[in-house]
Each structure stands twice: as structure tokens, then as C-alpha cells.
Chains A and B, each alone.
Chain A
Amino acid sequence: MGDEKLAKNIAYHDLVRMIYQQEDFDFVGVALQDDTSWRKIHWRYAAGNTSQRFRKIILRSGIGIAGLVIRTGEPFAENDLAHHQYAGYMSQPITMIEHLTSAVAIPIFDQNQLVIGVLLAGYRHQQTITAHSGHVLQEYLQRFQ
């Protein structure tokens, strides 16, 4: 792993840990798209996770929370994940594995304004996501970049 990549790694790690510590979210995670030709999307960094199962997930572009955010480049917020259109293991594995009841997700862009990943934060006990939650994440991400 090159120095630049390693630095990026540590930086993302610090980012999720910082958000987890400073805000009241129960779970914070970052999913990134590979730059190999297959462009698989994995959850790479997480804080507040209950197990390591999130590492096994490979996301489907266009489906699920992160999939939608990556496909559209638009933020996503949902307060009733259990009854969402895509509820269920196949399409929202991260919310099932981490038992999230509400979540907010925003796209991560590279310097060329291409979507390369998702920053997601969520609650386990019915706390509500507001427009403010999205702004908070956005601020952290801006400072990070």
C-alpha cells in the first residue's frame, strides 16, 4: 500500500471515529467503490458496529441506501427503514446487520466530482433523522476533504 493510500485509509478511519464520538449516532460507516475495473462497493470503515459482518457485504449499485446514493449522487434519509420500499436483507444489508431503524447517507465525491463512496450514519432506537443530520455529515465531510 502506497503512502498516499495509507494516509487516506487513516484519514477515513479517523473521520468515522470522530463523527461517532462527537455526534450521537449509533453507527457511522463509509463505503467506497474499488477503482479496479469491476468497481465493487464495500463498506471499508465503521464505528459503533456490532460485528465485523459489514466487511463481507458487496453493495449493488442502484439498490439499497448506499447503492442509491452512489448511483444518483444524491443524499438519502429515511426514518422508517423497516418499512422502506427496499426493506430486507437483500437490498439493505447494512441496516439489517447493524439493526438500524433510521439512517442518513451522503455521497462522497473525488476531486473530479465523481461519486466514489457513501458516508452513512444511523440510529438503532427510533431516533429521528432530520435535515440537520445530513448537514452535520456534510460539514464533517467538507472539513475532511
Chain B
Amino acid sequence: MLESVSWVEKNFNETPDAIFIFRDDQLLVSNHAAQTLQADYELSTAYITKLMNSVVRQQHSDTNDCFNCVVLDMAKTAIPFTLPVKNGHPLSFFLVYSELDTAQNVYSLTLKSNDLMQRVDQLAQQRKLVQYVNRAHEEERKRLSQDLHDSIAQGVYSSIMGVRHLETTVSQADPEAFARQTKLIESQLYATLQEIKGMALDIRPSVLDSFGLSAALKALAKRLEENTGIDITVVARDTAELKLSEDVQTVLYRIAQEAMTNAIKHAEANEINLFLVAHEHEISLEVIDDGSGFDVKQHVSFNGHSLGLLNMNERVKSLHGTFQIKSEKGSGTTVTATFPIA
């Protein structure tokens, strides 16, 4: 028994969160982390008890909307708290209040490091992102397989049927039917060829490798325009001489693709303008649509829809670029990405 008490005590002392236990306003016990905090940053216990008391009292008062509600009973009271540091970055914490003994008014205050919690959030976000990327991969494969099956396999199949039919026209010695049939097969094969080329372009634009970013963006815009009827204008300035790394080119291309697909699918845009402009030390890509727009703040945290944007952001950041989305309900969306260039 005595041994286990010493273990508990050891754990209490070594936990990274600073824990204070009070009776009324008197400090009873505090752990190592709390003592260091007090010593290093002149943290006054009177201040945190006062802070906490006012919040707790406010939450337990009749005027509070949530008085007696279940959620409040279940949730521990936590308030954000910043500790000023001389000649340094202020530390931010969450102050968590938990009652230990109501009769004697004994309670503990725990200072949880905000940085740590943010890191946990970031990890969760990362995990969601990985999940999203995987799902997007799978979706892409599904789409490709469907396209292969519906369009190309069907095209080849009807050409085979056409050739079979050709044999009967030969055996019936009907030159007119023969000519008609060859024309039909030719047209089917042409359509299939066109479809294959289109799919190849969708998967990875060969234009990007051979003719550069602006040509690839123009080809992409043309294809989307053909598929949707939306006006897409591409303006590329001073980019001909530019030597961009393959990574940057690919990311810019994918951002343009994602931004335009978003505008078409979700925003019901009528017009999209795309600007690729090289400045002295940076290259910027801007995709502007006149669609329905959305509330950016709502989409910054994760809610399922915004992961595409988050993914773009991550890709840009990994190449030292900046990424920005400006949008308002009813007034379109502007997606901007810039990368430094030598």
C-alpha cells in the first residue's frame, strides 16, 4: 500500500502538466512542473485561483444559459490562459478545474500546455489528410476503371462486332455494304483513340513534360471547356523562359486542376480565369471564378469537404510556397499560390 502511494506520488510529480491542489484559496500540494513554473515565471497562485473562481462562479450562476445543463456537468471547466515570459514568446495553457472534495472545498487546477494540445490536433489533422489522400486515390482508380470499361472497352467491342459484320458483307458480295461498314468501324476506332488520348491527358499531362506549364494549363482549360461549356481563360505572362522544377510545375498544375474542378462541381461557375505570372523572384498562379463562393473560415477546420483545400495547402507548403483562398458567399472564389524562383 505504502509502495503504491509512492508510485502515485512519483507519477504526480513527473507528469508534464502543472498540477496545483487547493483548499479554499490555500495551496495544499503542487507537483514538480507546477513548482518550476512558479519559480521560473513568477506565477502567482492567487491570480490563477481568482481567475478560476470567477469563471466557475459565472458558470454556476442562474444567469448562465447553461445552468444545470448536462453538458456542463460532464465537461471539465477549462479556460485559455497565457503566461507572459520576459524576453520571450508567451506560453499558452489551458487551465482545467476539477473538484476533489466539495464539502471541504478542495479542488485541483491543472495547467495543460496549449502547444501540446495543438500538436495533438495537428496529428489528428494529418491522419485525416492521409485518409483523404488515400480515398482520393481510390476514387481516381474507380473513375479510370469505369471510363475504361464504359468508353474504351465498349468502343473496341463494337469495332470487333463491326469486323464480324464485315465478313458477312464479303460473303454476300455486297461492295456497298462493305464500304459502309469499313467507314463505321473507322469512325468507332477514331472515337476510341480520341478517348484514350483524353484519358492519358487526365492521368498525367504529357504536355507538362514536353511543352511546359503554360501549355499544359491551356490544354487542361481547353479540355474542361469542352467537357462543361464553361468559359475558361488562361493568361500566362513571362513564363516562357522560366525553369521551374518538376515538382513545382506539377503542384501548380494540380492546384489549377483542383480549383477549376471545385469551381465547376460545387460553385456552378460560368467563367473561370487563370493567371500564371512570373515576377522577379516568384511565380504566382491565380484561379478566379464567378461561382457561388463559400465561407472560408467554416472550411478551414476539417468537415469533410475542405480536405482538398487542406491537401493543396500542404503540397504548396512542402515546396516553400504560399497558398491562399479568398471567397465570400455569392461573390466567387480566388485561389492563389506563389512559389519562390531563383
- Report B-chain residues with C-beta under 8 Å of the C-beta of A39: 187, 190-191, 194
B195 touches A112 (CB 8 A): no
Chain B interface residue count, CB cutoff 8 Å, equals: 26
B interface SS class: helix
A63 to B149, CA, bound (A): 11
A interface SS class: loop
Query: Known contacts being A71-B154, A112-B180, is A62 close to B195, with CB within 8 Å?
Result: yes
B195 touches A60 (CB 8 A): yes
| CB of A58 within 8 Å of the partner chain | yes
Number of A-B pairs whose CB atoms are under 8 Å? 71
| CB of A114 within 8 Å of the partner chain | yes
A130 to B158, CA, bound (A): 29
Stretch at the interface among A10-18, A22-30, A85-93: A85-93
- Size bracket, chain A contacts: 20 to 34
B198 touches A60 (CB 8 A): yes
Distance between B65 CB and nearest chain A CB, rounded to angstroms:
41
| CB of A144 within 8 Å of the partner chain | no
A107 to B217, CA, bound (A): 35
B228 touches A37 (CB 8 A): no
Q: Which of B161-190 contact A (CB under 8 A)?
A: 180, 183-184, 187, 190
- Report A-chain residues with C-beta under 8 Å of the C-beta of B291: none
| CB of B290 within 8 Å of the partner chain | no
Interface centre among A62, A97, A113 (most CB of B within 10 A): A62
B154 touches A62 (CB 8 A): yes
Q: List 5 A-B contacts (CB under 8 A).
A: A57-B226, A61-B191, A71-B154, A94-B229, A96-B228
**Given A60-B151, A62-B154, A71-B154, 13 more pairs with CB closer than 8 A:** A39-B187, A39-B191, A53-B231, A53-B270, A56-B226, A58-B226, A60-B195, A61-B191, A61-B194, A62-B150, A71-B155, A71-B158, A97-B229
